[in-house]
Amino acid sequence: MAMTAPLYSLQLNRRMPAVPILLFLLAMLAFASPGSANEPVKLYMPDAPPLTLQNYTGGHGMVGDVTLAALARSGHPVQIVTEPWARAQMTVASGHNLLIIPLSRTPDREDNYTWISPIMPLERAFFSMDEPVSSFDEARQHYSRIGVGLGTAQLEILRREGFRENQITQLKLGENPAHLLALGRIDAWFTGIPEAIYIWGKSVHREQKLHRSPPLARTDLYLACSKDCDPQLVEELRKAVETLDQDGTSLRLQHTYMPQSPAR
């Protein structure tokens, strides 16, 4: 399913929690180059709060907002496309000038995409209802069922760290890992720290004590493009993201969504 609204309508219909940020994004549209009359660029983006959000009136998430601001600054209208995450990655890798976020740059993915620019780092940890582990070695011995998102970098990381396939429970989009964890259907959830805190804080189980391991893995989340990608598009977006980083806009946008940690 695809959302075909151009960037200007996506921005005008938003109500950012921080008014100055909204005004900045609208200002970016005012300075869009004549290239904005071109065909929209397709952006593949899952609903993965707080990194990317599909149907939220406050914005499109920590990575989504920065990416949309970069597209606005560089004068590119955009269509947001929604597909299951694993399929979206295959579609973009084999396509032409297709964008995707938030994509971790891992060894398994390195040769499949054009890596435009890192948007933010993402630390990952194990979340559980019992005492936290302190290492991958301890997690391998302690957990029998570890929940990870289907098609995510978390799956690659656990396999690379020697976890058995029967220890890994791949969760499809729409499955609620907080619910599965609280009910004991998985022993632990290995995921990005902001995602776990955000989802747990909105779950009916949020009053229960959630334990978190130390951060055990870190990758950069990228704005990436198809392997077959126009060098001019790559350079324009790379420069736009760099400018947003240098003037502090990226951090301001990301802090809008920064959850307070209930895990310890």
pLDDT digits 0-9 by tens, 19-63: 445 445 544 444 444 444 578 999 999 999 999 998 777 799 999
| Angstrom distances, CA of residue 59 to CA of 10, 67, 253 | 9, 12, 9
249 shares a domain with 198: no
Contact 59, 16 (CB under 8 A): yes
- Residue 155: the pLDDT is 96
Mean pLDDT computed over every residue of the chain: 87
Could you give the percent of the chain with pLDDT greater than 90? 78
76 shares a domain with 149: no
Q: For residue 260, is it within any domain?
A: no
143 shares a domain with 206: yes
Please give the tally of structural domains in the chain: 2
* DSSP label at residue 241: H
If 0-12 CB within 10 Å is exposed, 13-18 middle and 19+ buried, where does residue 183 land?
A: exposed
The predicted-structure confidence for 182-230, as pLDDT tens digits, reads as follows 999 999 999 999 999 999 999 999 999 999 999 999 999 999 999 999 9
| Angstrom distances, CA of residue 261 to CA of 81, 148, 181, 201, 212 | 31, 20, 17, 8, 10
- Residue 9: the pLDDT is 32
- Tokens for 250? 């990226």
* Least reliable range by pLDDT among 25-34, 71-80, 177-186: 25-34
| Dist. CA 169–CA 148, nearest whole Å | 6
Closest CA to 203 of 248, 263, 147: 263
* DSSP label at residue 52: B
> Looking at residue 148, which CATH number applies to its domain?
3.40.190.10
The predicted-structure confidence for 112-125, as pLDDT tens digits, reads as follows 999 999 999 999 99
- Domain of 175, in residue numbers: 122-217
Q: For residue 141, is it within any domain?
A: yes
171 shares a domain with 99: no
More confident site: 21 or 98: 98
| Angstrom distances, CA of residue 233 to CA of 28, 42, 43, 83, 221 | 17, 12, 13, 23, 19
**What is the pLDDT confidence band of residue 159, given thresholds at 50, 70 and 90?**
very high
**What is the pLDDT confidence band of residue 262, given thresholds at 50, 70 and 90?**
low
Contact 66, 244 (CB under 8 A): yes
| Dist. CA 192–CA 198, nearest whole Å | 10
Radius of gyration over every alpha carbon of the chain, rounded to an integer in angstroms = 19
Q: For residue 61, is it within any domain?
A: yes
